[in-house]
């Protein structure tokens, strides 16, 4: 478990750094697009497509890091009042559903990336598959992070947050 925890902690931090960098990129890119459009009357054609890729990156990498940090949406107030065995069972179900979601995200995104890799985004001159790459990576990360949580539950340990 120690090697998985160390690996996942690094991957989680990297995912969050990528999400933050993409968010800063969106901010700078949109500001650039607005200034170019309204001040210089020369809107760059690539701004919208690049911003879309960055939004997908923010969402996917931040969501994956949120799974590792157990920051995903939960109904703790209801689960806390249940007996310990029921809490454990619900935790296992949530973990297994998270693994399943990560697998479906990975497989579906990979299938889409393969299907469109020959198509180009005209304003960026890169493959359409780039749009699906963050989703593919996030699917793998969600599976790894969810497995770590399941192992921790069955061994009676807790997953240490990456940010403290």
Average pLDDT of the residues in 61-74: 83
CB 101 within 8 A of CB 63: no
Q: What is the pLDDT of residues 29-51, one digit of tens each?
A: 999 999 999 999 998 999 999 99
Q: Above 70 in pLDDT, residue 144? A: yes
The DSSP code for 119 is S
The confidence score (pLDDT) of residue 74 equals 62
CB 63 within 8 A of CB 138: yes
Q: How far apart are CA 96 and CA 130, in angstroms?
A: 29
Q: How confident is the model at residue 72 (pLDDT cuts 50, 70, 90)?
A: low
Q: What is the pLDDT of residues 81-134, one digit of tens each?
A: 889 999 899 989 999 999 999 999 999 999 999 999 999 999 999 999 999 999
DSSP of 25-55: HHHHHHHHHHHHHHTSS---TTHHHHHHHHH
The confidence score (pLDDT) of residue 69 equals 86
Bridge partners (DSSP) listed for residue 120: 127
Among the residues of the chain, which ranges form H helices?
2-38, 47-68, 76-79, 84-116, 133-155
Identify the CA nearest to 12 among candidates 129, 151, 161, 157: 161
- Name the CA dihedral angle for 104, 143, 95, 71, rounded to a multiple of 10 degrees: -110
């Amino acid at each position: 478990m120690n090697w998985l925890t160390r690996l996942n902690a690094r991957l989680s931090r990297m995912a969050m750094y990528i999400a933050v960098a993409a968010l800063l990129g969106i901010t700078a890119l949109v500001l650039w697009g607005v200034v170019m459009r309204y001040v210089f009357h020369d809107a760059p054609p690539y701004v919208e497509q690049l911003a879309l890729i960055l939004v997908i990156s923010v969402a996917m990498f931040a969501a994956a890091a949120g799974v590792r940090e157990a920051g995903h949406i939960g109904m703790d107030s209801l689960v806390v009042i249940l007996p310990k065995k029921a809490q454990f069972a619900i935790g296992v179900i949530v973990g297994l559903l998270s693994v399943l979601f990560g697998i479906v995200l990975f497989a579906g995104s990979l299938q889409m990336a393969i299907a469109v890799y020959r198509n180009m985004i005209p304003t960026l001159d890169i493959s359409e598959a780039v749009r699906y790459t963050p989703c593919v990576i996030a699917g793998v990360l969600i599976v790894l992070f969810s497995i770590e949580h399941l192992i921790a539950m069955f061994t009676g340990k807790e997953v240490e947050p990456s940010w403290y």
